[in-house]
Amino acid sequence: MDIEKRNPRDQRDGREGVDRRRFLRGSLVGGAALAAVAAAGPASLLPEAFAQEGPSKFPSPDEKIIAFMQIFEKAAVEAYQTAAAKLTDASATSIATSYMGHHKDEALALGKVLKQSESQSDKIEADPALAATYKSQLSGAADQNATLEVLLKLEESLAATYLDALNRFDVGYNAGAVASILPVTSQHAAVLGTLMSQPLSSVLAAQIPISGAVDLASPAVQSPTTTTTTTTAPAGATSSSTTTQPGGSTP
């Protein structure tokens, strides 16, 4: 009797988690449909049901991860702003401008999951360690190809971190929000690779390597408010910083 009264969604959760991981880890990154998603950006993919009222003062483990992904997205926006001055080809400049807009939209979409208002989301700053790392790498980039390489590594790390996040979430709609952003970020990486004339076998890799992900179990992510720690950047660089988690932010 007790088994019959259980929520059917609870009974499905374990199986859905396994299926989701198997699908995402084995799926190809690319294709016309996915390219269309990347061109449109994530805004239309996030259901309004994810938006609720008022940020939590006591963020859950899921909210801490989403809060970190939001400031990672903000770091991506800053990276594309820095890269703009070094992109000489019109098509590369146009694509980079679009992708910077996507990352702005993604940060806002994650803010909705955290119950932030748009004005609250706008006030959230980039993760300082990641922002500083990418700025340093981009400043040292000798030409457009080197600049695109930094942006490619950024997108690959972001995609890997989103994929890792899917394995950690406890609440279904949190996974849904991230799953709507992951293919856009993955397609960014594929397109940047083609701009660098990389072979299709490289830009359309069958798997997203989790090795490039930021450690979501680190104190930088799991602190509910502010912590000083070391955040590992995707290119192997590390730096200590004070990271403010948006999940407990106030207007």
Contact predicate 132/239, CB 8 Å: yes
Q: Which residues of 10-25 are buried (b: 16+ CB within 10 A; e: fewer)?
A: eeeeeeeeeeeeeebe
Question: Domains in the chain, please, with CATH?
Answer: 57-248 (1.20.1260.10)
State the Cα–Cα distance between residues 248 and 251, nearest whole angstrom: 10
Looking at residue 106, its pLDDT comes to 97
DSSP 124: P
130 CA to centre of own chain: 12
Q: For 84-118, give the DSSP string.
A: GGG--SHHHHHHHHHHHHHHHHHHHHHHHHTT--H
105-160: pLDDT as tens digits: 999 999 999 999 999 999 999 999 999 999 999 999 999 999 999 999 999 999 99
Supply 15's token pair: 């199986």
- Flag residues of the chain having pLDDT under 70: 1-57, 205-206, 224-251
Supply 143's token pair: 């030409």
Q: What type of residue is 108?
A: L
